[in-house]
Amino acid sequence: MRLLVLGLVLAGAAQAVPFRLEPGEYRWIPFSVKKSPTAVDCRFRVLRGDATVHMEVMRASEFRKYIRGKEYDTFASAADGRAGQINRLVDQPGEFAVVVENDEHAPVATVDLEVRTDLNPAPETLARPLPPERRLAVILISFGIFFGLVTWSGWRLWRAAGSERE
């Protein structure tokens, strides 16, 4: 019994082992989404090497296209760099892959990758704030519509008041 408890404690404390990516090499981790919505949190960090590592999340069918060198669609991606993160909400069940790739002309990189899924995401993850650019666009469009309606209504009232005087 003690051995079982010790094994569970050690398994819970275990962390992913960093891996080495040669120039142009990639590694991937498959995961399944059986219930929706499921929150997916992927993070990578370059421990040694340049900021030339790229991470993508894609459906398994798109990953097969990626392996064959064909054109493929990405579910989500992180910019090239020394670190990156993808937080997405998956709303359809299916098979997915997280791909971490080093640039073809880059030096060898040692990468630490972490992938987590949450079957019962918190309400905060379901509704996210808008990026600053979109927030500004929404505000400007709202003000434009508001002032357009006020101007149009004022013009109509002015015309109605003018026609009553005559």
Determine the pLDDT at residue 10: 39
pTM of the model: 0.64
Beta strand residue intervals within the chain, DSSP E: 19-21, 26-33, 38-48, 53-59, 76-81, 83-90, 94-102, 109-118
Residue 29's CB: how many other CB atoms inside 10 A?
Answer: 15
Q: What average pLDDT score do residues 102-123 get?
A: 87
> Per residue in 46-81, pLDDT tens?
999 888 899 999 999 999 999 999 999 998 999 888
Domains identified in the chain and CATH numbers: 16-121 (2.60.120.680)
- Sign of CA pseudo-dihedral 135, 139, 145, 148: negative
Determine the pLDDT at residue 9: 41
Residue 6 has pLDDT above 70, yes or no: no
